[in-house]
Amino acid sequence: MLALLQQATPTVSNPLDGISDGGLLEMLLGMLTSSFGGEGMFGVLVGGATLFAFYLAGEGDLAAPTVLLVLAGAFLWPVLPGAYAGFARSLLIFGLASGFIAIGRRYVLDPGAR
């Protein structure tokens, strides 16, 4: 009778059960990316915030944030689980775009200044 009662009672799954299987990173990234509308949008927001912070810290120079975003995106692409590789691609694309803007500002838009 006790065994039958235990089978009939529903078990509540613990959201932290995946930690023991090595799913801590997937659990944390899943919560973060779902709150921002997907891993691509989360990557754009993190990349934009990083670019803006380092742009202000570098007094208007795009070199430091560009290098940081390109290296971080290239490093995270193979490290992150497959479902979250879009985050790393977004960082990489954001960094490459800011690099092209920096090259354009330095050599095309104002070539005589430097």
Tens of pLDDT, residue by residue over 81-108, are 777 788 888 888 888 998 898 888 888 8
Q: Which has the closest alpha carbon to 71: 108, 52, 98, 53?
A: 98
Tens of pLDDT, residue by residue over 30-75, are 777 788 777 778 888 888 888 888 888 888 788 888 888 888 888 8
In which residue are the tokens 């490093």 written?
A: 75
Is the pTM value of this prediction over 0.85? Answer: no
- What is the C-alpha separation between 27 and 17, in angstroms, rounded? 10
Residues 93/77, Cβ–Cβ less than 8 Å = no
